[in-house]
Amino acid sequence: MFENIEKAYEYIRSITDFVPDAAVTLGSGLGDVADSIEEVAAINYRDIPGFPVSTVAGHRGRFYFCKIGGKNVAFMQGRVHYYEGYPMQACVMPLRVLHKMGCRLLMLTNAAGGVNFSFNAGDIMLIRDHISSLVPSPLIGENYPDGTRFPDMSNVYDKELTDIIRNTAAEIGLPIKEGVYIQLSGPNYETPAEVRMCRLLGADAVGMSTACEAMAAVQCGMRVCGISCITNLASGMSPKPLSHDEVKEMADIRGPQLRRLIVESIKKF
């Protein structure tokens, strides 16, 4: 797996010498957030040797390199998931490639189900912490050469970056929630009983990504922050059946506001 990181890095470097100051992973339905930002370079995942390819609708599957406020920013328009059949090590490979390119700051975004009864579809949640114990750790196996074997997870989501996002949201008049994100494996949505379990564990939002990426980024020494777009209430909290179309529809609606929050926050990082 680690040799694929080197191959991917060499391929990207054959196309661009872009060194990202920050990277942003765009979750389900949020890929269009980067489209109106002027492109420096773009590379499709499927063109990169040994690189995992997104297979889910709403995940375009490419790196989009651009500039925001004088900073070099790499957007990941789509991610890969454990439920697609990839091992966890492959799910975090893209951010390790970004780290090798020189990136030291990672913003993770996702579409998530609201577990907290005070949340509503369309809310934006600033991630304060996560629960990842119900899915395999991406750090299992041979230790990543650029990361410590036993990384501390006391402060996964960087307090300074979190404060910047919170203050930026207030400046632009965007109400946001804050809470704990829990990652489950998917691809099925959770049962009502599983949602109650998540709530008892202290989760406010549930999804199928993000926590594994945050863990791998912290192991590399990257600073991490995260934002969830609450696209629906989780199973059992509303009579409406859950669907991926609903997730994409709400992400499309909230995309412009999330884009502004991301852009204005990055300018202050």
59 is catalytic: yes
Q: What is the DSSP string of 134-155?
A: TS--TT-SSPPTTS-SS---TT
Which of 4, 72, 132, 209 is catalytic? The answer is 209
209 is catalytic: yes
For the chain, the C-alpha Rg in angstroms (whole number) is 17
208 is catalytic: yes
Which of 54, 72, 76, 84 is catalytic? The answer is 84
Which of 8, 22, 23, 28 is catalytic? The answer is 28
244 is catalytic: yes
Output the six-digit token pair for 59: 């995940």
Which of 74, 90, 101, 208 is catalytic? The answer is 208
Which of 232, 234, 237, 251 is catalytic? The answer is 232
142 is catalytic: no
Which of 9, 11, 83, 86 is catalytic? The answer is 83
81 is catalytic: yes
CB 92 within 8 A of CB 8: no
Residue listed under structure tokens 């949020």: 30
> Which residue type is seen at 190?
E
Q: What is the DSSP letter of 190?
A: P
Residue 38, burial from CB neighbour count under 10 angstroms (0-12, 13-18, 19+): exposed
Which of 8, 74, 93, 111 is catalytic? The answer is 111
Cα distance between residue 255 and residue 22, in whole Å: 20
Which of 8, 45, 59, 121 is catalytic? The answer is 59
Q: Say which residues have a Cβ less than 8 Å from residue 201's Cβ, sequence separation at least 6.
A: 131, 182
Which of 81, 90, 101, 116 is catalytic? The answer is 81
Q: What is the DSSP string of 56-74?
A: STT---EEEEEEETTEEEE
- Largest alpha-carbon pair distance within the chain? 52
Which of 1, 86, 244, 246 is catalytic? The answer is 244
Q: Say which residues have a Cβ less than 8 Å from residue 266's Cβ, sequence separation at least 6.
A: 22, 24, 68, 69, 71, 73, 107
83 is catalytic: yes
232 is catalytic: yes
Output the six-digit token pair for 162: 């979190």
Active-site residue set = 28, 59, 81, 83-84, 111, 208-209, 232, 244
